[in-house]
């Protein structure tokens, strides 16, 4: 069985990171070949990661981002100017 690695931006969406992280856990449980690179704010990711069963630790990499994208910002502007945003990081990965 081959491995699949996905980069996941947890900072997007109308309902916040908790919905995305909950879905990420479901995907990890359902697909044993899945690895995730989770991109977003360090405290949010770390709190989620520490609550996971240890069996998932080897399949998850946390990638902390320091810049936040606001709802009214144009994506093209963000990609040029916010090089440490989760949006840009996921696209680079």
3-state secondary structure of 40: strand
**What would the two tokens of residue 52 be?**
């996971």
Write the pLDDT tens digit of every residue in 35-92: 999 999 999 999 999 999 999 999 999 999 999 998 899 999 999 999 999 999 999 9
Q: How large is the greatest C-alpha to C-alpha distance in the chain, in angstroms?
A: 42
DSSP at 73: S
Distances, alpha carbon 15 to alpha carbons 5, 38, 41, 57, 74, in Å:
24, 17, 16, 25, 20
Cα four-point dihedral sign 71, 80, 24, 65: negative
């Amino acid at each position: 069985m081959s491995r699949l690695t996905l980069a996941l931006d947890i900072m997007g969406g109308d309902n916040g990171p908790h919905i995305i992280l909950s879905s990420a856990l479901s995907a990890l449980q359902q697909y044993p070949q899945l690895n995730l690179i989770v991109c977003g704010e360090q405290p949010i990711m770390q709190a989620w990661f520490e609550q996971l069963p240890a069996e998932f630790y080897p399949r998850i990499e946390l990638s902390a981002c320091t810049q936040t994208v606001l709802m009214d910002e144009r994506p093209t502007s963000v990609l040029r100017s916010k090089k440490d945003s989760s949006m840009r990081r996921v696209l680079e990965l």
